[in-house]
Amino acid sequence: MNHLLNLTKKELRELLTPGAVVSVLVMVFLFMGIGSVAGNAVDEATALSKIGIVNGDPSGHWSEFALDFIYEAYGSNASEYIVMLDTPYGNNEEIMKEMIEKGLNTAYGMGPGFTASINAKTQTTIDEYYIFTNNGLLGSAASAVSPLIIQLISQSISKELISTVTDPSAADFILHPIKDPTMQGSPDTRHTYVKGEVYDGVSPAELSAALMSQTMMVPIVIMMIIMVIGTMVISSMGSEKENKTLETLLTMPVRRTTIVSGKLLAAAIVGLVYGMAYMVGMSFYMGGIMGSVGSIDLQDYGLSLGLTDWILIAVMIFLAIFCALGLCMILGAFTKNYKAAQTMMLPISVLAMIPMFITMFTSWGSLPALMQAFLFAIPFSHPMMVMSNLMFGNMTLVLAGIAYLSVFTLVIIFITVKLYKSDILLTGIGQTKAAKTFKAFGVKRRP
Amino acid sequence: METLTIKDVRKSYGEIEAVKGINFSVEEGEVFGLIGPNGSGKTTTLRMISTLLRLTTGSITVCGRDVAGEPDDVRKVISYLPEDAGAYKGLTGRSYLKFMAGFFADGEEFEKMVQKGMEIADLGDRIDSKIETYSKGMMRRLLIARAIMPSPKIAIMDEVTSGLDVVNAYEIREIIRGIAQKGVTVLLSSHNMFEVDMLCDRIAMINEGRIVLTGTPAELKEQYGAANLEEVFVRAVKE
Ligand SMILES: Nc1ncnc2c1ncn2[C@@H]1O[C@H](COP(=O)(O)OP(=O)(O)O)[C@@H](O)[C@H]1O
Ligand SMILES: [Mg+2]
């Protein structure tokens, strides 16, 4: 037989273990799952949403014109999706309250001088009202398209004006009868409701972007820490088994709990050091990117973290590291040697990557209940979500997360110590049912 | 006095029964050899004595302490050297001995223990080299030194000379004779019948999880009228 063919076949047989195949399949399903979650979020963001209208210029020619334009844009859905608000123009806080009452996230308003101003050939404005909820990157899409809508209204007015006005000095006004609110020097016509306060001159899209730059690195850093310490612990267990140093250690006059704790503690310290290094590195990196875009100081919008918040974050990260370590010690107990350790990392990687992707693209509030339950059950989700949860005062979720992580850690450590006291550490899994299941996952037992 | 007593011990790995009811005892100061072919249950037996594996049934007592009931106490008097063992590759021989001695003693006693370990290992300057640079023979001497330096009541060694060349194997046997003379009980396993003949005061022959014979090498050879233990073993298994 052809030698190359022969060798290739043998290599393939070695590489395509059941474990490798399963890991590929898991990856495919993982990305399919993430795709559908992200897809849902996109659908929601781009779906027609209800808007409110505050008309401070009732029966004015140009305000009626703008309204007609919007009604036309909504077509047959207009009556369902366009809500005329009762609160008079000017009382922003009351407008926001009415919006919340009526379940609206976005509203537009025209002031009393809207028609008069256009007739006098001076630029006017359309106010925007937003209720800011923490819905992740995709959740703030609605406010990102608002400038476009206003521009379209402006254009349609300008089309009307062009046939009536002949004065060349008014050209600038005719091209832009309504001011672009995102332009420098525009009046603060954008009003955003954040945690009980109304802020002018900022849109949810801008807040979201600023939030992302602050919180996005957390999931990535957490995932990295988990991968690094996971690999470390599992491969260290693998080599301890390969060299029989573990076997020797287990016959020393020292409690099993001490051996387990020593391993956990050392890896936790390394994990924290890595974590801090990543945090510092990433914040420089992020600062470099975001700083040049011109950033929003979240503190100005009541979205900042106090000392207690940072302590809670630290506690959560620490607990999550312990969970990860515990899980790795358990998986490591089934590892036969250094090489097999690689396969064993798979479940940990999956558990770290799922919440990373979900928390990066969506937020807790925007997920359906089933996904929320799923996310909550994965211990690593909690430190990934904690920052924005604290900013938005979602304390119940934070505390429930800490409680869950504590229980999870205790259970994991209990199981780890149990494992260390059992035969499994040395024998692997015997001829039991569990063994057959594990074998299917490519975990080989030494003959 | 009996240092080690094994009574009706069985061990199953799932559906496989590796040890099928064995009995033997080891006297204080003896070099006792557990001999048998590969897969006969030697490692399984030694691991049960060393508190690493649970007994399926039966009982083992080491210096009057029950392996199942008081494993922590048993670990204080035994020293176990696994088959084909290695050490932490990144450490030097000296730091490995220090690490292990730390489990048994501190202060002056600790220093003495490390000193003793280095003497047994007899690695010269190489004691300060990384373990990953050691040859198989050096590694084995280091591990034996580690096992013996805390002065255990009983040293348990699994296939301690396997894979070594003639000279290294000879040296290891010399070390074992030396510690036996100092009163340490030694329990070793081997599939090399000649080696056991030279080294052991008494032996137990194990085959397919059962003890087929026990006695001194001389007694057994006489009983079967055989020239060596290999012949004894083959005849005993056939019966
Ligand atoms: N972890 C295990 N799972 C299942 N069977 C095992 C395991 N370890 C050893 N065995 C089986 O137990 C028997 C005895 O093995 P062992 O004690 O290692 O023999 P020896 O040390 O005499 O070569 C063998 O048949 C072996 O295949
Ligand atoms: Mg063996």
CA distance B239 to B70: 39
pLDDT (0 to 100) of residue A228: 86
Protein residues with C-beta less than 5 angstroms from the ion ligand 2 = B 43
Q: Which of B47, B54, B86 sits opposite A243 (nearest CB)?
A: B86
Greater model confidence, A289 or B130: B130
With a cut of 90, say whether residue A221 has pLDDT above it.
no
Mean pLDDT, rounded, for B66-77: 93
Cα B101 to chain centroid, rounded: 19
With a cut of 70, say whether residue A333 has pLDDT above it.
yes
Structure tokens at A439: 């074998």
Compute the Cα dihedral for A18, A21, A24, A28 and give only its sign.
Answer: negative
| B54/A422 CB distance under 8 A | yes
With a cut of 70, say whether residue A439 has pLDDT above it.
no
Greater model confidence, B200 or A41: B200
CA distance A264 to A271: 10
pLDDT (0 to 100) of residue B37: 92
- φ, ψ dihedrals at B139, nearest 5°: -60, -45
Please report, for residues A290, A396, A398, the alpha-carbon distance to residue A390 in angstroms, rounded to integers and kept in the order given.
Answer: 22, 10, 7
Please report, for residues A28, A317, B125, B207, the alpha-carbon distance to residue B211 in angstroms, rounded to integers and kept in the order given.
Answer: 54, 55, 44, 6
Query: Counting beta carbons within 10 angstroms of the beta carbon of residue B5, is it exposed (0 to 12), middle (13 to 18) or buried (19 or more)?
Result: middle
Compute the Cα dihedral for A447, B6, B12, B13 and give only its sign.
Answer: negative
Structure tokens at A104: 């609206």
| B80/A247 CB distance under 8 A | yes
Q: Which of A77-81, A229-233, A340-344 has the highest mean pLDDT?
A: A229-233
Q: What is the mean pLDDT of chain B?
A: 93
- Place A206 in a pLDDT band, splitting at 50, 70 and 90: confident
Segment (H or E) for A281: helix A256-293
- A255 CA to middle of ligand 1, Å? 27
Q: What is the DSSP string of B82-150?
A: -TT----TTSBHHHHHHHHHTTT--HHHHHHHHHHHHHHHT-GGGGGSBGGG--HHHHHHHHHHHHHTT
CA distance B185 to B205: 19
pLDDT (0 to 100) of residue B154: 96
Sheet of strand B185-190, all strands in order from the earlier edge strand to the far edge: B78-81, B154-158, B185-190, B31-35, B202-207, B210-215
pLDDT (0 to 100) of residue A1: 63
- B1 CA to middle of ligand 1, Å? 31
Please report, for residues A10, A219, A227, the alpha-carbon distance to residue A275 in angstroms, rounded to integers and kept in the order given.
Answer: 41, 11, 11
Mean pLDDT, rounded, for A193-204: 83
Closest Cα to residue B187, out of B147, B226, B223?
A: B147
- Ordered domains of chain A (ranges, CATH): 46-202 (3.40.1710.10), 211-440 (no CATH)
With a cut of 50, say whether residue A327 has pLDDT above it.
yes
Lowest mean pLDDT among A168-182, A427-441, B138-152, B204-218: A427-441
* Residue located via tokens 């491969």: A235
Q: Which of A242, A250, A431 sits opposite B15 (nearest CB)?
A: A431
What ipTM, to 2 d.p.?
Answer: 0.92
Q: Helical H runs in A127-255?
A: 136-139, 141-164, 171-175, 204-215, 217-242, 245-249
Closest Cα to residue B73, out of B169, B188, B153, B176?
A: B153
Q: Which of A253, A422, A435 sits opposite B72 (nearest CB)?
A: A253
Greater model confidence, A27 or A429: A27
* A430 Cβ closer than 6 Å to some ligand 1 atom: yes
With a cut of 70, say whether residue B172 has pLDDT above it.
yes
With a cut of 70, say whether residue A47 has pLDDT above it.
no
Q: Helical H runs in A108-140?
A: 114-119, 136-139
Enumerate the residues of chain B whose CB falls inside 8 A of the CB of residue A243. Answer: 85-89
Ligand nearest to the CA of B14: 1
* B190 Cβ closer than 6 Å to some ligand 1 atom: no
Burial annotation B142-167 (CB, 10 A radius, 16+ → b, else e): bbbbbbbbbbbbbbbbbbbbeebeee
- A420 CA to middle of ligand 1, Å? 20
Query: How close, in Å, is residue A347 to chain B by CA atoms?
Result: 26
Greater model confidence, B9 or A155: B9
Residue of the nearest CA to atom 20 in ligand 1?
B39
Q: Which atom of ligand 1 is nearest to the CA of B40?
A: 22
Mean pLDDT, rounded, for B89-95: 93
Closest Cα to residue A161, out of A187, A108, A124?
A: A124
pLDDT (0 to 100) of residue B152: 94
CA distance A375 to A85: 38
pLDDT (0 to 100) of residue A75: 83
pLDDT (0 to 100) of residue B74: 95
Sequence-distant contacts of A173-177: CB under 8 A, at least 24 apart: A173/A121, A173/A122, A173/A123, A176/A123, A177/A118, A177/A123, A177/A124
CA distance B171 to A27: 54
Q: How many CA atoms lie within 13 A of B39 on its CB side?
A: 4
* pLDDT tens-digit map of A255-297: 888 888 888 888 888 888 887 887 777 667 666 555 444 556 7
Segment (H or E) for B204: strand B202-207
Mean pLDDT, rounded, for A140-161: 78
Chain B interface includes A426 (CB < 8 A): yes
Residue of the nearest CA to atom 14 in ligand 1?
B41
**Test mutation, B10, B11, B12, B13, chain A, max A CBs within 10 A:** B13
With a cut of 70, say whether residue A44 has pLDDT above it.
no
- Place B31 in a pLDDT band, splitting at 50, 70 and 90: very high
pLDDT (0 to 100) of residue A369: 85
Mean pLDDT, rounded, for B65-94: 93
Segment (H or E) for B203: strand B202-207
pLDDT (0 to 100) of residue A10: 82
Mean pLDDT, rounded, for B79-86: 94
Q: What is the mean pLDDT of chain A?
A: 81
Chain B interface includes A422 (CB < 8 A): yes
Q: Which atom of ligand 1 is nearest to the CA of B158?
A: 21
Burial annotation A286-318 (CB, 10 A radius, 16+ → b, else e): eeeebeeeeebebeebebebeeebeebbebbbb
* B64 Cβ closer than 6 Å to some ligand 1 atom: no
- A249 CA to middle of ligand 1, Å? 21
pLDDT (0 to 100) of residue A446: 42
* B43 Cβ closer than 6 Å to some ligand 1 atom: yes
Greater model confidence, A316 or A281: A316
Share of chain A above pLDDT 90, in %: 11
Segment (H or E) for B210: strand B210-215
Identity (one letter) of the amino acid at A213? Answer: S
| B103/A422 CB distance under 8 A | no
- Place B188 in a pLDDT band, splitting at 50, 70 and 90: very high
Greater model confidence, A401 or A187: A401
With a cut of 90, say whether residue B102 has pLDDT above it.
yes
pLDDT (0 to 100) of residue B142: 96
Structure tokens at B7: 């009574």
Residue of the nearest CA to atom 16 in ligand 1?
B41
Ligand nearest to the CA of A427: 1
Structure tokens at A100: 């919340």
Share of chain B above pLDDT 90, in %: 85
CA distance A299 to A414: 42
Segment (H or E) for B80: strand B78-81
Mean pLDDT, rounded, for A195-214: 79
Greater model confidence, B115 or A194: B115
Greater model confidence, A135 or A94: A94
Overall residue count recorded for chain B in this entry: 239
Q: Which of A248, A255, A427 sits opposite B85 (nearest CB)?
A: A248
Chain B interface includes A439 (CB < 8 A): no
pLDDT (0 to 100) of residue B66: 96
Closest Cα to residue A438, out of A338, A323, A346, A325?
A: A346
pLDDT (0 to 100) of residue A188: 81
| B52/A255 CB distance under 8 A | no
Q: Which of A18-27, A309-318, B208-217 has the highest mean pLDDT?
A: B208-217
Q: What is the DSSP string of B154-198?
A: EEEEESTTTT--HHHHHHHHHHHHHHHHTT-EEEEEES-HHHHHH
Q: Which of B14, B50, B82 sits opposite A430 (nearest CB)?
A: B14
pLDDT (0 to 100) of residue B184: 93
pLDDT (0 to 100) of residue B204: 96
pLDDT (0 to 100) of residue A139: 55
Q: What is the DSSP string of A57-108?
A: STT-HHHHHHHHHHHHHHGGGHHHHEEE--SPTT-HHHHHHHHHHTT-SEEE
